[in-house]
Structure 1
Amino acid sequence: MVKTEKAYDQAIELLKNDNVRITKQRTRMLDYLFNKRDFYVPITEIDHQLRKEFNRMSYETVYRNVEMLEELHVVETRMFNNGMRAKYQCDFDNVDHSHFICENCGRVVELDKPDMGSVRDKLPGFEIDSQHYEVIGLCDACVKDVRE
Structure 2
Amino acid sequence: MSIDEAWDILLKYDYKRTKNREILLRFFDEADRYVTAMEVRMAVERDNPGISFDTIYRNLAMFSKLGILDETELNGERLFRMQCATDHHHHHHFICTACGGTKSIPICPMDSVTVNLSEYEIEGHKFEIYGRCPKCKVG
Bin of the TM-score, shorter chain as denominator length? 0.7 to 0.9
Residue 9 and residue 144 in structure 1: after superposition, are their counterparts in 2 closer, same or farther (change >3 A)?
same
Aligned to 1:84: 78
Q: Aligned partners of 1:138, 1:65: CA distance in 2, in Å? A: 29
Match of 2:120 in 1: 126
Measure the CA separation in 2 of the matches of 1:80 and 1:53.
27
Q: How many residues align?
A: 139
Aligned AA (1:85):
L
Q: Paired residue for 2:17, among 13, 22, 25?
A: 22
Work out whether residues 96 and 102 of structure 2, in 8 Å CA contact, stay in contact via their aligned partners in 1: yes
Distance in 1 (CA, whole Å) between partners of 2:11 and 2:103 is 29
Distance 1:50 1:117 in 2: 41
Counterpart amino acid of 1:99?
A: H
Superposition map of 1:1-148 within 5 A: 7-37=2-32, 39-81=33-75, 83-94=77-88, 96-145=90-139
The alpha carbon displacement at 1:82 in A equals 7.9
**Is the CA contact 1:96–1:130 (under 8 Å) kept in the aligned structure 2?**
no
Structure 1 length-normalised TM: 0.83
Structure 2 alignment gaps of length 5 or more: none
Distance 2:77 2:108 in 1: 29
- TM-score when normalising by structure 2: 0.87
Q: Which stretches in structure 1 are left out of the alignment for 5+ residues? A: none
Which has the larger displacement, 72-81 or 92-101?
Answer: 92-101
In structure 1, give the amino acid aligned to 2:17.
Answer: I
CA pair 55-115 structure 1, distance change in 2 beyond 3 A: closer
How far has the Cα of 1:95 moved from its partner?
Answer: 7.9
- When structure 1 is superposed on structure 2, of 132-141 and 113-122 the one drifting more is 113-122
Shift of 1:130: 2.9
SS in structure 2 opposite 1:76? strand
Once the 2 structures are TM-superposed, how far is the Cα of residue 93 of structure 1 from its aligned partner? Answer: 4.7
Q: What is the aligned-residue RMSD (CA, Å)?
A: 2.0
Identical amino acids, percent of aligned pairs: 27
State the one-letter code of the partner of 1:11. Answer: A
The amino acid of 2:114's aligned partner reads R
Provide the secondary structure at the position in 2 that maps to 1:99.
strand
